[in-house]
Amino acid sequence: MANSISQIPANPVAFASARPVWPKGRELEKNLLVGFRAVFRAPAAAALRLRLAAATLYRVFVNGRFLAHGPARAAHEFYRVDEWNLTGHVGNGDNVLAIEVAGYNINSYCYLNQPSFLQAEILADGDVLAATGNPGADFVAFIVPDRVQRVQRYSFQRAFIEVYRKDEQSDAWRRRPDAPVTPGECAIQREKKLLPRGVPYPDFRTRPALWSVAEGQVRRRESVEKCGRIEPSPTSVQPSPDTLCPNSNSSYPTRFSFWKMTCAPSINPSQATRRFSSNPISFSSLIWGPISLGSSA
């Protein structure tokens, strides 16, 4: 394990050691999801904090459990610095801190179009345990392989739809210190204009459901039935506008943006609870009349 390497400066929006980084030559690339991981041991009774700034969006996990999402919004070419308390989220031995950063690099009403980066460091009572861009205690960075990069946009209001091709080990890198990843080369980015967060932090409390509407089963299948004129395909499928699922009783097209799908006669929502409770079926085998799955053109 690397020893601590520096002290926290007095300026609350300055970093002690971290520098802004991103996979080399890809800071302007659209819809790139990059994983950053640090494996560290927490000193006994130390106050632990994560300080970071990023573009476009980040999510933080500690030992596989969700911790935080950000950043707070700022004006173009300015970036707010967040600090998250890690105390109480770590254990004895090796701990895994994983950060997913989505770099969109596209105009929208939702996010600014600016180069992607991450600047992050883990602090223990003022000592830096890991920091981006620090050769002695760096994060490991890699392109997250299970997120599909070339996808449609939601609209100009938002950025890109999220499409994943996951398996049983897709999230292992976020929770297991020994999970294999393929590190990529990162480059130091130009210095960023940093601002204090300036707004309260969310607590990410989970709101319980008020009532159960339906339940079913998700099953892994290697083959599916045909549905109307929609043929199984290993890639995303966009039917022609006149393609309908049989029994949909609608003049509107049913559009699909993924392919492992089977159809059943349509029912109205008032029948859903009785249908599911009396005869549990696969989620992927039910269509309620005209419906858009994923994003339609």
HEC states along 238-260? CCCCCCCCCCCCCCCCCECCCCC
Are 74 and 170 in a shared domain? yes
Buried b (16+ CB within 10 A) or exposed e, 123-143: bbeebbbbbbbbeebbbbbbb
Same domain for 173 and 238: no
CA distances in angstroms from 275 to 55, 61, 225, 250, listed in the order given: 45, 38, 21, 21
Same structural domain, 28 and 174: yes
Domain encompassing residue 232: 210-297
Residue 202 maps to a domain: no
Residue 278: phi and psi, rounded to 5, are -90, -25
Asked whether residue 51 falls in the same domain as residue 139, the answer is yes
Rounded Cα–Cα distance for residues 59 and 186 (Å): 19
**Looking at the domain assignment, is residue 7 inside a domain?**
no
Clarify whether residues 177 and 37 are in a common domain. Answer: yes
Residue 94 covered by a domain: yes
Give the DSSP letter of residue 132: T
pLDDT of residue 140: 96
Q: Pick from 196, 227, 257: which residue ends a domain? A: 196
219 and 167 share a domain?
no
Look at the chain and report how many structural domains it folds into: 2
DSSP 43: P
Of the residues 196, 228, 251, the one at which a domain ends: 196
Q: Is residue 15 part of a domain?
A: no
According to DSSP, the β-strands at 193-196 and 78-85 are: parallel
Is the residue at 8 inside a domain? no
Task: From 292, 296, 290, select the one nearest 248 (Cα to Cα).
Answer: 290
Place of tokens 């599916």: 224
pLDDT in the model for residue 223: 64
User: Looking at the domain assignment, is residue 12 inside a domain?
Assistant: no
Is position 14 within any domain?
no
Q: Within this chain, do residues 166 and 251 fall inside the same structural domain, yes or no?
A: no
- Residues 179 and 43 placed together within one structural domain of the fold: yes
190 shares its domain with 272:
no
Task: Please report the pLDDT score of residue 126 as a whole number.
Answer: 87
DSSP designation for 205: P
Q: Which stretches does DSSP call E strand in the chain?
A: 21-23, 32-41, 48-55, 57-62, 65-70, 78-85, 94-103, 117-124, 127-131, 140-143, 186-188, 193-196
Burial class (CB in 10 A: 0-12, 13-18, 19+), 148: middle
Contacting residues for 168 by C-beta, under 8 A, at least 6 apart: none
- CB 152, CB 257: distance < 8 Å: yes
Answer yes or no: are the C-beta atoms of 119 and 3 closer than 8 Å: no
Type of residue numbered 167: D
Residue 115 counted as domain residue: yes
Local structure of residue 230 (DSSP, 8 states): B
CA atoms within 13 A on the CB side of 49: 14
Residue among 20, 185, 198 at smallest CA distance from 114:
20
- 3-state secondary structure (DSSP) of residue 112: coil
CATH number reported for the structural domain that contains residue 161 in this entry: 2.60.120.260
pTM, rounded to two decimals: 0.71
Exposure of 268 in the CB half-sphere (CA atoms within 13 A):
3
For 168-222, how does the pLDDT look when each residue is reduced to its tens digit (9 = 90+)? Answer: 889 999 999 999 999 999 999 999 999 999 999 998 988 888 988 888 887 777 6
Based on the fold, state whether residues 121 and 173 are members of the same structural domain.
yes
Q: Are residues 155 and 267 in the same domain?
A: no
Question: Residues of the chain whose pLDDT is less than 70?
Answer: 1-12, 222-297
187/242 same-domain check: no
